[in-house]
Chains A and B, each alone.
Chain A
Amino acid sequence: MNATSAIRRPPAPPGAVRWIKKNLLSTWYNVLLTLVALIFVFFVSRGVLRWVFFTANWTPITSSLKLFAVGQFPPDQVWRVGTAVLLVSFFFGLSWRVWGGTVGTFALALAVGGAAVAVLPFELSSGVRLWGVANPLLVGVGYLVGRTSLGKPRWAALGWALSFGGTTALLTGVRGVSWLPRVETGLWGGLLLTFLLALVGIVASFPIGVLLALGRRSSLPVLKLFCTLFIEIVRGVPLVTILFMFSVILPLFLPEDVRVDRVLRAMMGMTLFAAAYMAENIRGGLQAIPSGQIEAAKAVGLNGLQTTVLIVLPQALRMVIPAIVGQFIALFMDTTLAVIVGLVELLQIGRAVIQSNPEWLMLDMEVYLFIGAVFWVFTYAMSYASQRLEQTLGVGRR
């Protein structure tokens, strides 16, 4: 004992040095690798920074912010889009208090995004800046309302359902209400359309996906066959073909007097496409339910429908929430494909902006990188939120 305690460990080098030694310079080839990587990082970041701050010309973006945000939405009606977002912010604040967790992350993201708009260093109308300030305020108001007796899941769900009608009325207009004139869907554009396509796609595909998943696992061979065929065919072809089908062939499928406008057709295509993938996600959740649950439900005397609705689905859906968030992110990125059927979502706006001014014809890099950055910010924030969600639900740990 004495002998060992007599041997003292040499004093450890300070933390930073030890870390560098261990993670960057452990062997001779690691030293070499670090050196090469350092040179690479240096040149790349120097090039990128120089380009971003000195070479690049960002005027096409700073002067068309409204186009990127809402497209051709009538300028005197843009307040309706702003109000719709404020409504959503309010309910996110409320839900933050009610459900907590990741909803809070989204609510915070909304608040921070609004505040960022308020302080953007570009020329913005005072109305837009006011909206930017109001956004975090409304999230806060929602949170405070959530602390009162209204802060119950029941009321929050009701609120969301009402807000769906509210936003639809705000965006499309209500017949006979003079201050809400009709806005054609063809005028929706930019980020607004991108979000609408993804949101409608994911929300509408949810019930269809649940039915398809149940159908695919059903014991009825005919039903099973139809659901499996639908899912596999849709998953086997690219989204472009589905969108193309809805834009070109759907009008042929319908009677001649039925007209569906272009945005709605794209939304239908997105929904159908998302439903097939949603069904597979949900099927994964259904398969993960131990059969003991179903047997126990039967033993308690529940019938088939009750077992499915009260026992199986709630557990299965809870399990697949992260997968659904992941699918929403994918769908959000897939909305860019609407360019191919001629919708003016974010990417198409970028194209139009470049072509709108002969001086900007060489500025593709700036515009497309900006659009890429916008997508990146949203998708990265969402995947971060979904990772947190996975942790709170403890999906991976059970």
Chain B
Amino acid sequence: MEVMEAIERGRTLATNLAPLRNMAKVKMSQDSRIHVLTHSGTPFWRDDRVLKAIAQTISAVVVVGFLIFFVGNVIRAANARGLGLGYGFLGQAAGMPLGESVIPYDPAKSYAYAFLVGILNTLKAALVGIVLTTLLGVIVALGRLSPNWLVSKIAAVYVEVIRNVPLLVQLFVWYFAVYQKLPPVKNSIQWPGPVYLSQRGLYLPAPVPNATFGAWAIFVGTAILLAGVLYTVLIRYQLETGRTTYPALTAGAVLLVLPVVGWFLVGERPLTTEIPVLDKFNFVGGLQLTPEYAALLSGLVVYTGAFIAEVVRAGILAVDRGQFEAARALGFSPMQVLRLVVVPQAMRVIIPPLISQYLNLTKNSSLAVAVGYPDLFYVGRTMTNQAGRAVPVFVMIMATYLVFSLVTSAIMNVYNRRIQLVER
């Protein structure tokens, strides 16, 4: 009974609702009319869209105005001094001596070529520096994380001292107080083996390819290719079947055995080491690092190493202890835990700041100018002084460094996208 009553009540309510619904309809149409009215009725100084457009126009006008003002001044100044703003001068002979170069260089070459030498010198310092500083940084980070108190304190002192002293001061110490104060060539310091250190720089034995080097290189190439293929195939097989196939071990063996076999098969030794020999005034042969390059490299490596140590340490500490313990509980050996559990997770934290440290090192290599190493900035500055075309040269320098950082951030973005896919 009660149910029937309730249904009845509901029905009457529903019928009574009809006028209400109609009212709502009217209200809505009124609302939309009101809306239209208010929008067109808003004074323009309160309309959000108008205000935004005005703000944009003003900012654009201000920025463009400044640019026009500056560029106009530059053109006026350039005309007054009789210097064009074009890049035509790049074809002229540079006429500046450069201390060292990766590619053959003499002052008769053009400015463009000299600039290229500068870029290559920067890359030479940056790439070698990155490899060495990563090694140093990782070792220091491991030292700082070591359970041995003394070792971890030594690493901590290194980091705290190096990070808090400006890089330029350190470069001055390396160049003026260390490398320039080394003994003259006659009494150079000999390290174990044919490594000589003197005022003229560091002399190391250098590998020199022989006629059979090409044949041997084929062996090495094959070994790398084969090892790569074997590794992927064996890993896939192991993942599918669950049988242990020792992929790393097999690939490593191939990588080692093939080149060794090739070394003896090709006949004459493909590589001989050239040992620096003291001539009348200087060492001849071997690999020579100028004191400028050595100072720059030492400074950059030692300085950046302290930062990388902190990055690596933070990354390893960021991996939860539970991860380590869980892996141990599953029966992984400590080495396996490190290789398979801790390092992959730490890498995700480490890589982005690590890459920005690499970029910092590359940018900091511009301090080479203080020790006279002919890097990109040094060459650019000399070009400015000689050719007097400050603005075009400056644009070139900035553009080159910007390309470096754009490439770096592109790599970083790709990497970040990859690890994000892994994460989610």
Contact = CB atoms under 8 A, between A and B. Distances in A.
B406 interface: yes
B281 interface: no
B377 A241 contact: yes
Contacts of A379: 164-165
A369 interface: yes
B24 interface: no
B390 A376 contact: no
A304 B63 CA distance: 23
B329 interface: no
A48 B170 CA distance: 17
**Chief secondary structure at chain B's binding surface:** helix
Nearest to A258: B73
Nearest to A219: B52
Contact of A220 (B56, B148, B160, B370): B56
Contact of A253 (B70, B167, B384, B401): B70
A226 B390 CA distance: 24
Interface stretch (B3-11, B90-98, B172-180, B207-215): B172-180
Interface in A356-390: 362, 364-365, 368-369, 371-372, 375-376, 379-380, 383
Interface stretch (B37-45, B149-157, B226-234, B331-339): B149-157
B182 interface: no
A1 interface: no
A220 B59 contact: yes
Contact of B169 (A220, A221, A362, A368): A368
Contact of A245 (B55, B370, B394): B394
A240 B397 CA distance: 11
Interface stretch (B130-138, B191-199, B250-258, B359-367): B359-367
A38 B151 CA distance: 9
A337 B168 contact: yes
B405 A235 contact: yes
A34 B149 CA distance: 8
A120 interface: no
A347 B63 CA distance: 37
Contacts of B109: none
Contacts of A251: 77
B177 A365 contact: yes
A272 B402 CA distance: 17
B370 A339 contact: yes
Given A219-B52, A240-B366, A253-B73, A34 B148 contact: yes
Nearest to A381: B164
A37 B154 contact: yes
B165 A375 contact: yes
Given A37-B151, A241-B377, A220 B369 contact: no
Interface stretch (A22-30, A108-116, A174-182): A22-30
A236 B70 contact: no
A249 B398 CA distance: 13
B147 interface: yes
B363 A24 contact: no
A378 to B, nearest CB: 9
B411 interface: no
Contact of B166 (A238, A253, A369, A375): A375
B401 A238 contact: yes
A289 to B, nearest CB: 22
Contacts of A364: 172-173, 176-177, 180-181
B168 A339 contact: yes
Contacts of B394: 241, 244-245, 248-249
A260 interface: no
B391 interface: yes
A33 B151 CA distance: 8
B381 interface: yes
Given A37-B154, A379-B164, A383-B164, A368 B172 contact: yes
Interface in A165-202: none
B166 A336 contact: yes
A333 interface: yes
Given A256-B77, A368-B176, A333 B405 contact: no
A34 B154 CA distance: 11
B74 interface: yes
A253 B72 CA distance: 8
Contacts of B377: 238, 240-241, 244
A222 B160 contact: no
Interface string A303-333: 0000000000000000000000000000001
Contacts of A369: 173, 177
B150 A37 contact: yes
B60 interface: yes
Interface in A11-68: 23-24, 26, 30, 33-34, 37-38, 40-41
Interface in B383-424: 384, 390-391, 394, 397-398, 401-402, 404-406
Given A34-B148, A237-B398, A380-B164, 16 more contacts: A37-B151, A41-B150, A221-B56, A236-B405, A237-B363, A237-B405, A241-B366, A244-B377, A249-B394, A253-B74, A256-B76, A336-B167, A336-B168, A340-B369, A351-B172, A372-B165
Interface of A: 23-24, 26, 30, 33-34, 37-38, 40-41, 219-223, 226, 233, 235-238, 240-241, 244-245, 248-249, 251-256, 333-334, 336-337, 339-340, 347, 350-351, 362, 364-365, 368-369, 371-372, 375-376, 379-380, 383
22 contacts: A26-B147, A33-B146, A34-B151, A220-B56, A221-B56, A222-B59, A226-B60, A237-B401, A240-B367, A241-B401, A244-B394, A251-B77, A253-B73, A253-B74, A337-B367, A340-B367, A340-B369, A340-B370, A347-B169, A351-B172, A364-B177, A365-B177
Cβ-closest 3 pairs across A and B = A365-B177, A236-B405, A23-B149
